[in-house]
Chain A
Amino acid sequence: MEERDPIDAELLAAYRTGDREALGTLVARYERPLYGFILRMAGNSDADDLYQETWIRAIRALGSFDDRKPLSWLFRIARNLMVDRSRRAHRWVPLDNDSGEDRWPSSTPSPAESTAGLDLSERIRMAVDLLPAEQREVFLMRTEGDLPFKEIAKLQQVSINTALARMQYALEKLRGTLKTVLTEGETQ
């Protein structure tokens, strides 16, 4: 997905000459991974608004559109927007906080217990939502955006080893939470 895609450049050129549909096609191409990333990072209440705002900013900055790394470019806009908003709302939890703290309150049932009984997609979604922000972000950039770790590290402004460590932590937690699912998958 991060390969050079001349189609994007063509769409952009067409849009610049007044073809509004070209922009619609470009939006449709990246809507799902971008929305998935925003939804999982910001939560249901803010996701739609942030998603729309991301595109507004993207359209404003189309001059700097990087057609070799379109999703990386869009994720960066979305990430900056989420950081700005969280700061303004004084509820910013730094994404570079590497405490590795679990978001799961100790008094509630364990993730494995709580995800039991849900369908597979929901169990995975819920388990991902429970990851600490910086680990969730790496996991989503990798799985939703198919971004390489080199790019993820740049976006998070950390070393590639830190990005890889975050992914390892995320995977270990998901393996723990989804243990039964993974075992079932093995037996099938």
Chain B
Amino acid sequence: MTTCESYRNLILLAASHELNTLERNRLGLHLAACSDCRAFEKDANWLAAHAAKARPEKPPRLDIPQLESRSRRLRRRVLQLRLSVALSAAAALMLVVTGPRLWVSPLSGTSPQPELQHLALLDEWQFWLVSWVAQQGHETTPLVFQEGWNEQDFARHLLVLEGLVPEETAIVEENGREATPGALPPITLQGYSIPALLRS
């Protein structure tokens, strides 16, 4: 049995032109016999018409050039965000593929668990270097990371360990500190030149 509630759905759908002929005819027959639904239809139409008239004041005036400029900035931000998400995903994938072979072991001896820490503990720049080395298809040697090293120290150490740079080229003593000569192969890593990174 069709209830008044379902006929009221038809009343609403009729107002939005979403009824077929058959449904319109069924509704017409019901309305002819049901005063409650006729009252509902009348009130619904009145409310719809008057609600549209009761619209608020005119919206605030928009400055189109300003909107365009903010829209361009938003587009750039979204693109940057997407790019960084994609790069992170690629790096994470690399980590999954090479992860079991890449570990970090602190040498300070102060850690209560000095044995192994997972690569996920690495900083972003370390992470990229490790990913990049793995991308080159080199054997990824278990890494030894000494506390207090900066990114140049780490990069040099990694490149030497992977055999990409001869030790004597990559690491020299200079006033008691490790320093890097310029004769490194021109390698680009996510926009950074490895030699430039090492020299910086």
Contact = CB atoms under 8 A, between A and B. Distances in A.
State whether these chains interact: yes
Interface of A: 20, 23-24, 27, 31-36, 39-40, 48, 51-52, 55-57, 59-60, 120-122, 124-125, 128, 139, 142-144, 146-150, 161, 164-165, 167-168, 171, 174-175, 178, 182, 185
Interface residues on B, range: 35 or more
A179 B40 CA distance: 12
Nearest to A58: B71
For the residues of A in contact with B, the DSSP-based class is helix
Interface in B53-106: 53-56, 58-60, 62, 64-65, 67-68, 70-72, 74-75, 78
A46 B51 CA distance: 21
A168 B44 CA distance: 9
Nearest to A186: B42
A52 B47 contact: no
A164 B58 CA distance: 30
B12 A148 contact: no
Nearest to B42: A186
A24 B67 CA distance: 11
Top 7 closest A-B pairs, CB basis?
Answer: A35-B59, A121-B54, A59-B71, A143-B51, A124-B54, A164-B9, A148-B16
For the residues of B in contact with A, the DSSP-based class is helix
A120 B54 contact: yes
B48 A56 contact: no
Nearest to B56: A39
A60 B75 contact: yes
B30 interface: no
B50 A60 contact: no
A24 B12 contact: no
B55 A144 contact: yes
B52 interface: yes
